[in-house]
Chain A
């Protein structure tokens, strides 16, 4: 546990960093965000959706386990009227099918896929079935859509054009000596893998530190 001295993070802290990171997610390619629970990986995915809807675009969230929290997302700036939410009842095959359909449909700026840890039978030696991933990659290829997976571990194999890994640095608690409220979460986002010309400006190992403010402060 780490308890910072300051009472609350400065407003907008980490915003510039996240903007440049969000710009790096390529359109017409498959990207992946890897991170365990409380790493900030879902927050990064949510930030992509917020940016798309704030720009007036449509976005889709394929939610394999149905964990999306609309109330906190709306407080974070997500325009729910421009978001298609697809709950898949914990079925990865349904999630992949929905993602494939949405990636091929013109009109969505971002198709975000929040995956569960895949069961062993749908895994290849490193991740999801390779043919399914190749089909997804071909489906989104050439389109103006950013297709992003979020998963607790790397599942997209070599198909992903960009893989970023999110690790928790430390949670921020406010109040000494006993915490009185959760002040946020500091994450380190690092580029784990790039492929193709789109993400060439990124180098594997490049990293950002982002502090996520709690939803009630958004």
Chain B
């Protein structure tokens, strides 16, 4: 069975540090330690090899680390960064194989059997996985073998992992150190007392004797040392929502700086979307402020996109619409960006169809117009099913929906109709009546003698509900030639509209 299986292991060493470096790429190549967030005794959780070379070890306190010569950079552990990193690692795996198992922080298995037709032999697959991980901001080790245990141990061999040929797991792993196994300190000390140093020495011990001395764990460790692990993959599906989070060491106090930070998250998100060959249908951003409040916003591109060049202007416009162009209400301490990915099929337009607007340019323009004029004032107007005057609703403008572009409009007649300029909000007016007809108007917009009028036109509706309404309308001509519509309801007169 294991001769037929080919499993790859993607392993991110020093996972907490790797997550911190991925969130802050400027740390790459630096001596970095990640500290537990628990105050006052903040201790080292993980350290990079460069930091270890300076004598830093897990468990040291922050004060001990800072006392080291040649400064070591300290960062607090952020669970959200590790979650994002795990998501990115899973996406790398899902981009290569549909069968993926998430085995723990920084550890992912994927079934690579049959991929040689797509990517080449196992070495080429391993190289491709390694490069994809680097593109995701992770220095992952890759091992390929016939089992999960073999692949995991192979990932820990060599400079960046090795490929073990079919059926050669035991022989290839035999000279490797026992330290490659995930041994508890007690077990490691016990095996050391027995004089065991390599995986081969452990694998060669009789299983019955191992069971007698170590219990069930003994034979299991020996099987791992031989690269045996018959358990099948427990496959998981890709995350339905992609999330990128950034804790800001330097708080953002201005909109441009915040937009830049969010732009970095947007670029990372675009890379992740491209990796899984999907596009963002909807995005949401959340800013945590220093005053412990949150501000958030959402954006929906006119068409799903995964291009950073399209996402970034939309994010900037959304930020501007939500926070305004002035100073921020408080410094921003963390930003989160979420994307809802969808798979987008390529579409072929017909030869006879009118050219559609560029979706990307249109989406960006609409977002910027919304940022300038406010979301409540921009959109497509829909007439509500009511006779009540000015019963309208504004919905998001979706010009690329079916039937919006091309072909004749739903109202193909061309009319030289008199336009109506509706007064909003209602403008109360004083109207003088003679013989029941209006003869003079005074309002904050129009005033004057009425020289001609027609009416009243009576309208009412919704008499069956609390929202019933009724009013009389008059068309009137003022002495200066202005044509207007006056209305009267139970509350008095008002200037309803001007004909123009």
Contacts and interface: CB of A to CB of B under 8 A. Distances in A.
Partners in one complex: yes
A84 B397 contact: yes
A67 B421 contact: yes
B204 interface: no
A111 B458 CA distance: 36
Interface in A58-79: 58, 66-79
Contacts, number: 224
A102 interface: yes
B500 A40 contact: yes
Interface of B: 354, 356-358, 361-362, 365-366, 368-369, 372-374, 377-383, 389-392, 394, 397, 399, 403-424, 451-454, 475, 477, 481-484, 497-500
Given A71-B383, A107-B399, A43 B482 contact: no
B499 A85 contact: no
A212 B417 contact: yes
A75 B383 CA distance: 11
Interface core residue of A14, A35, A88, A182 (most chain B CB under 10 Å): A182
A47 B390 CA distance: 21
B417 A74 contact: no
A46 interface: yes
Interface in A30-46: 35, 37-43, 45-46
Contacts of B404: 58, 81-82
A89 B417 contact: no
A17 to B, nearest CB: 8
Given A70-B381, A182-B454, A105 B417 contact: no
A86 B499 contact: no
Nearest to B446: A37
B451 A1 contact: yes
Given A50-B411, A67-B421, A89-B377, 17 more contacts: A18-B416, A41-B500, A42-B500, A47-B414, A67-B424, A68-B421, A77-B413, A84-B366, A84-B379, A84-B380, A94-B372, A107-B361, A182-B475, A185-B418, A185-B499, A213-B415, A213-B418
Contacts of B406: 56
A80 B365 contact: no
A186 B78 CA distance: 72
> Chain A at the B interface: mostly helix, strand, loop or mixed?
mixed
Contacts of A40: 418, 500
Interface stretch (A122-130, A154-162, A172-180, A192-200): A172-180
Contact of A43 (B361, B399, B416, B497): B416
B377 A42 contact: no
Contacts of B391: 71
Given A105-B362, A107-B357, A67 B422 contact: yes
Which 9 residue pairs spanning A and B have beta carbons closest together? A107-B357, A76-B417, A87-B377, A218-B417, A79-B409, A105-B365, A42-B500, A212-B418, A42-B419
B454 A107 contact: no
Interface core residue of B382, B419, B452 (most chain A CB under 10 Å): B419
Contact of A69 (B354, B481, B497): B497
Contacts of B390: 69, 71
A72 B417 contact: yes
A181 interface: yes
Nearest to B357: A107
A43 B500 contact: yes
A204 interface: no
